[in-house]
Amino acid sequence: MRAHLSRRHLLLGAAGALSLPLLHSLAPGGTRPALGAPLVFPKRIVLFYNPNGTVTQDWFPAKGATEEEFTLGPIHAPLKKYQQKLLLVKGVNNSVGQDPANYGGPHQRGIGGLFTGQMLLEGNFADGCGSKAGWAAGRSIDQAIAAAIGADTPFRSLELGVRTKDNDVQGRISYTGSGQPLPPSADPTEVYNRLFFRAEPLDANDPNSRKQSIIDTVKGQFGTLNRNLGQDDREKLEKHLSLVEDLERRLGLKKPDQTSQCTQPNAPEIQEMDSEETMPAISRTQLDLLVTALACDLTRVASVQYSTGFNRIRYPWLDDLGEGHSLSHSGGSNTQAWDALSRRATWHAGELAYFADQLAAIPEGEGSLLDNTLILWGNEVSQGNTHSLNDIPYLMLGDAGGALRAGRYIEYTNASNCDYLHAILQAFGVDEKTFGNTSYSGGVLSGLLA
């Protein structure tokens, strides 16, 4: 008799789970869909953030671009192959951030309202000019969506970081509610252990005793499941396991001698979470962990935050030793500084392209994981030396399963980011009258939804 297997295995108790990818051969509850009935795959959203504005002339398409005929700027060169999946906008402003009644300086107001559309609360976080503010006064778009779809997965959302140690309003992009920020985790090993539960050391008195790999624990269950799958799903499952095993090896969590049960693991490859030397490696590992989490259906909502609004970091792998925040405040005639800033932004676009590549490589139905995902990239100000909160550099990659009309560049006139974010909320089927601060919410921004 055919075994009835749930799509998600909760293993080793409630402390953690390793979920299965979404497979053709199995539907929720272990039953196949009715003959001819299409499979409905879940939508996912991932926020991306990097700080201190962009180089606007290299970000926006050149003058004369039309909605469907546009040439990507130099910063977006790594994303050229995804142009038909991009949705670029100009003229979307952080209107609430410009309200004279708001607290804080432009970087504080910018990051606080970037994904929330909310003003800041009164508080004691100081910016570089001495202005003070508290946390944002409402939830962010990712958490509004997580409230609707997050209960279907072991993790309602994941907040990942790369060099994000500042515990300040300039170090948070995600909020569950007013004054309730979610801190990003910048340690890939911590993220791995949270996602893929690992049993206690075999010798409880020896902290160096090898911990049991979650993969070793579940291979028997996967072997049973494998016999009930079609060829396509078997290949998908094997690739899925390889993703997690590769992460174990790279983090030093896989025992070097497969015959030994109590061998001390290799030291993690990534040890300094706040080192400029490890930043590219940490970025790729965090992105790989997120891809695996999405493929496992451990979560459908996530954010990836690079640095903070303070942004004191350098990019030595780009031969760029300028301090980020100061560099972004350079004068317009400092072409060397702006070239460096453009290279940094292009690197971030390359990380986004890498992430999209990994999602696109994972089949889902007739398409891929990327086809059912929306990635929203944003920055807290338009350009660092002006501190402008107009023309916020938002970019969307993906269409959330066809809910948005991608492959376009749209120019608006003084649109509010509250209405821009409201459209994204609608794309995920969350029907609310407004999003963000009601004084700047006029309804769903037109032109974005399919």
pLDDT in tens, the chain (450 residues): 333 333 333 333 323 345 556 665 654 443 445 555 667 789 999 999 999 999 999 999 988 999 999 999 999 999 999 999 999 999 999 999 999 999 999 999 999 999 999 999 999 999 988 899 999 999 999 999 999 999 988 899 999 999 999 999 999 999 999 999 999 999 998 888 888 765 444 454 554 444 455 556 556 656 666 666 777 677 777 777 777 777 777 776 664 444 333 333 344 466 688 899 999 999 999 999 999 889 888 899 999 999 999 999 999 999 999 999 999 999 989 999 999 999 999 999 999 999 999 999 988 888 999 999 999 999 999 999 999 999 999 999 999 999 999 999 999 999 999 999 999 999 999 999 999 999 999 999 999 999
**Tell me, what DSSP letter sits at residue 72?**
-
Which ranges of 99-139 does DSSP label H, i.e. alpha helix? 106-114
- Please count the other Cβ atoms lying within 10 Å of the Cβ belonging to residue 327: 23
Q: Are 86 and 149 in contact (CB under 8 A)?
A: no
Half-sphere exposure of 146 (CA within 13 A, CB side): 25
Give Cβ neighbours of residue 318 (< 8 Å, ≥ 6 apart).
340, 343, 344, 347
Q: pTM value? A: 0.86
User: What residue ranges do the domains of the chain occupy?
Assistant: 45-186+281-440, 203-272
**Tell me, what DSSP letter sits at residue 205?**
T
**Tell me, what DSSP letter sits at residue 412?**
E
**Tell me, what DSSP letter sits at residue 383?**
B
**Tell me, what DSSP letter sits at residue 53?**
B
Among candidate residues 306, 449, 407, the one with its CA nearest the CA of residue 80 = 407
CA distance 74 to 65: 15
Among candidate residues 297, 294, 420, 422, the one with its CA nearest the CA of residue 361 = 294
Q: How much of the chain is in helix, strand and coil states, percent to nearest 5?
A: 35, 15, 50
> What end-to-end distance do the CA atoms of the chain give, in Å?
45
For 338, the enclosing helix (H) or strand (E) is helix 335-360
Q: Are 28 and 6 in contact (CB under 8 A)?
A: yes
Give Cβ neighbours of residue 427 (< 8 Å, ≥ 6 apart).
43, 374, 400, 403, 404, 448, 449
- Based on its alpha-carbon atoms, the radius of gyration of the chain, rounded to whole angstroms, reads 22
Q: Are 198 and 212 in contact (CB under 8 A)?
A: yes
Using CA atoms, how far residue 97 sits from 14, 102, 110, 418, in Å, is 41, 7, 6, 11
CA dihedral (128, 132, 138, 143) in degrees, to 10, reads 30
Among candidate residues 273, 269, 53, the one with its CA nearest the CA of residue 163 = 273
Could you say which of 3.40.720.10, 3.20.20.60, 3.40.50.10310, 1.10.287.610 is the CATH number of the domain covering 45-186+281-440? 3.40.720.10
Bridge pairing between strands 301-306 and 158-162:
parallel
Detail the DSSP E strand segments found in 295-350: 301-306
